Amino acid sequence: GVASASDIDTALRLGYRHPMGPLELSDLVGLDVRRDILNSLAEANHGAVYGR
């Protein structure tokens, strides 16, 4: 099936009790910030790849 961005955010807020869905968070902080966080995590974990 196909879910809308709103459906995904609602599922994670309700199902996992996240305060904000991942797409809402991306809208708030920006995709460049999310990318930088993932790059920092990969560097700290010796090149582990996140989000692929």
| 52 lies in some domain | no
* Mean pLDDT of all residues belonging to the chain: 91
- Confidence bin at 47 (pLDDT 50/70/90): confident
- Confidence bin at 52 (pLDDT 50/70/90): low
pTM of the shown model = 0.68
- Confidence bin at 49 (pLDDT 50/70/90): confident
| 21 lies in some domain | yes
| 50 lies in some domain | no
For range 23-43, the mean pLDDT:
93
- Angstrom distance (rounded) from CA 32 to CA 30: 5
- Angstrom distance (rounded) from CA 38 to CA 45: 10
Three-class secondary structure assignment of 1-52: CCCCHHHHHHHHHHHCCCCCCHHHHHHHHCHHHHHHHHHHHHHHCCCCCCCC
User: Which residue in the block uniquely carries the two structure tokens 């196909």?
Assistant: 2
Determine the structural domain holding residue 35 and report its residue range: 5-44
